[in-house]
Structure 1
Amino acid sequence: MDLEKLRYPIGKLSYAGSPTIDQRNGWIQDIAEFPDQLRAAVKDLTQEQLQWHYRPEGWTIRQVVHHCADSHLNAQLRFKLALTEGLPTIKPYKEALWAQLPDIEEDINVSLDLLTALHKKWVYLLERLSEEDFSRQYIHPEHNKTFDLNFTVAMYSWHCRHHYAHVLQAIEHKGEFA
């Protein structure tokens, strides 16, 4: 089995810079649709099925759902910091450790509800930003570089599609990768 394909079922993020308005609107649409897509994918899964992994040594479906809520909450904060501060340095977090905290055992509907509300608020903001707003930047200290909001919206569009594909992959393989 191709472990790289299992890890990146839609491929790695590709960003050429300077997106068109249509490209950016497509990314925003991906973000808008993600909570409903994810909810539909997991709605009939049992507690046992939520423990299926999307690849060997990868996260479970449950962890992926909770990770998306955590990650996208951080993403919206990054947008707001970039929009309201000169060139803020964001606070990174250890997502692999977050995915092991006790709240990942919480009902996934808590994270699905959070994603639904968060994405509605986030998309409302994104649809009202100017070209100048999308050029605003923040510093990511782990990468030691700046990212603008055009890149960031592209990255989270990819992140939505990436983890949605992980969930579908786990379901397709029933968590078994022999």
Structure 2
Amino acid sequence: MLEKLKYPIGKPAIPSEIANKDINNWITIIENFPAKLDKLTANLTNEQLDTPYRDNGWTIRQVVHHCADSHQHSYIRFKWALTEDKPVIKAYYEDKWADLFDSKTAPISLSINYLKALHAKWVYFLKGLSEEELNKTFIHPDGYKPIKLNKNIAIYAWHCNHHFAHINNLIISKKW
């Protein structure tokens, strides 16, 4: 049960061969995420926003702020991969960032508005990448294995759906 709460849509399943239609579908998910998240959370009270989606999990507020932090990092990683040769990216402690006062208390509108702007810019950027550029890589210091940009698009489409499901499932289970 805990695994289903942690990974409500399962862990990422990225095809070994990535087609243009896959990339286009993933970009569409990234494009639509901020508006879907805004609509999903628009009528939640502060008490509801401060409810964790599982025991010892983040609150809805922390999840929303985490998405803004994480997606900002991803956008920058794309830029590094295209301007440097296989850069080792800077990792960050997601759990510690989610524990900072702004992630625990700030209005989610700050992150939702940021996601709307960031995703608009990110999607514009992603749609302009060539196949050669989509095959460029960066290295995550935890894995030391190059990650192709086309795979990173898949990871972040999954990330959007993953955290949307955390919030949506909680709303459904609480009958909000």
**Cα distance in 1, alignment partners of residues 15 and 161 from structure 2:** 18
* Greater relative contact order (Cα < 8 A, sep 6+): 1
1:130 partnered with 2:130: yes
Alpha-carbon distance, 1:17 to partner: 2.3
Stretches of 4+ aligned residues off by more than 2 angstroms: none
The TM-score, its normalising length taken from structure 1, stands at 0.95
RMSD: 1.0
Which residue number corresponds to residue 99 of structure 1?
98
Determine helix, strand or coil for the equivalent of 2:147.
strand
Distance 1:118 1:18 in 2: 28
Aligned-pair CA distance for 1:54: 1.2
% identity of equivalent residues: 49
Q: How many residues were matched structurally? A: 174
Task: Give the whole-Å Cα distance in 1 for the aligned partners of 2:79 and 2:122.
Answer: 10
How far apart are the structure 2 equivalents of 1:17 and 1:135? 13
Matched letter for residue 173 of structure 1: S
Within a 5 Å distance, the mapping from 1:43-82 to structure 2 comes to 43-82=42-81
- What TM-score, normalized to structure 2? 0.96
Identify unmatched segments of 5+ residues in structure 1.
none
Match of 2:19 in 1: 20
Q: 1 CA distance for matches of 2:169 and 2:53?
A: 6
After superposition, what is the alpha-carbon deviation per residue over 1:22-71, rounded to whole angstroms, capped at 9, x for unaligned?
A: 01100000000000000000000000000121111111100000000000
The answer for the alignment partner of 1:7 in structure 2 is: 6
**Residue 48 of structure 1 aligns to a residue in which SS?**
helix
